[in-house]
Amino acid sequence: MESKIKLFPTDIFFLILSIFSFTYLRKYLVIFVPVFLIASFFFLKLRINSNSIIVLLLVALISIVTSFFHGIYILNNLISIALVMSPLLILFGRAGMKPHSLSERFILISSSVLLFVDFTAVLDLLIHVFDVGFIASDDTFQGIYGNSGLSMHTLSLVNYLYALLFYFRKSYLQASAFLISGLLCFFGAGLMTFLLTILIFILLLRNGIKFYFSVLVSIASIVLILKVINPSSYNYFLYNVTEFVINLNSTNYEDELNLAKSGKASIAPRKLTFHLGVLKRLQENPEIILIGTGPGTYNSRTSFLLNGDYSKIEYLKETIRIRPPMADEDVYPLWDTSILFQYNDGTRNEPFSSIVSVMMEYGVPIAFIIFLLSIKKVTTLARNNHVNGMFIKLSFIFFLLCLLGDNYIEYPEVTLIYFVLLKTFEIDLQHN
pLDDT for the residue 231:
67
- DSSP tally for the chain: helices H, then strands E: 21, 2
Alpha carbon 315 to chain centroid distance?
24
Q: Point out the least confidently predicted range of 41-50, 290-299, 300-309, 331-340.
A: 331-340
Q: How far, in Å, CA of 391 to CA of 394, rounded?
A: 5
Statement: residue 359 has pLDDT above 80: yes
Contact 406, 352 (CB under 8 A): yes
> Could you give the angle at the alpha carbon of 115 between the alpha carbons of 112 and 118, nearest 5°?
155
Give tens-digit pLDDT for 285-305.
999 999 999 999 999 999 998
Q: Does position 3 have pLDDT exceeding 50, yes or no?
A: no
Asked if 88 and 35 count as a contact pair (C-beta separation under 8 A), the reply is no
pLDDT for res 241: 63
Amino acid 4: pLDDT:
55
Q: How far apart are CA 360 and CA 32, in angstroms?
A: 26
Mean pLDDT of 339-365: 80
CB burial class (10 A; 0-12, 13-18, 19+) of residue 341?
Answer: exposed
Residue 355 has pLDDT above 50, yes or no: yes
Own/partner pairs for 258-267, CB < 8 Å, 24+ apart?
A: 260/333, 260/334, 260/339, 261/333, 263/338, 263/339, 263/342, 265/342, 265/344, 266/344, 266/349
User: What is the rounded average pLDDT for all residues in the chain?
Assistant: 85
Could you tell me if 91 and 420 are in contact, meaning their C-beta atoms sit under 8 angstroms apart? no
Convert the pLDDT of each residue in 361-417 to its tens digit: 999 999 999 999 999 999 999 998 888 999 999 999 999 999 998 999 999 999 999
Q: Which amino acid is at 409?
A: I
Share of the chain above pLDDT 90, in %: 48
Amino acid, single-letter form, for residue 412: P
Single out the residue of 115, 203, 127 nearest to residue 165, CA to CA.
Answer: 115
Judged by DSSP in three states, 224 sits in helix
425: pLDDT strictly greater than 80: yes
Separation CA 359–CA 354 (nearest Å): 8
Range of weakest confidence among 171-175, 192-196, 346-350, 351-355: 346-350
* φ/ψ (deg, to 5) at 46: -85, 160
For the entire predicted model, the pTM comes to 0.87
Give kind and range of the element (H or E) at residue 225. helix 209-229
H or E segment to which residue 165 belongs: helix 152-168
| Tens-digit pLDDT profile for residues 60-75 | 888 888 988 888 999 9
Report the distance separating Cα 298 and Cα 202, nearest Å.
Answer: 36
Return d(Cα 114, Cα 371) in angstroms, integer: 28
Question: For residue range 157-166, what is the model confidence (pLDDT) as tens digits?
Answer: 999 999 999 9
Handedness of CA 268, 274, 279, 280 (dihedral sign): positive
Rounded CA separation 410/152 (Å):
16
Q: With contact defined as beta carbons under 8 Å apart, do 164 and 395 qualify?
A: yes
What element of type H or E holds 389?
Answer: helix 389-405
pLDDT of 135 > 70? The answer is no
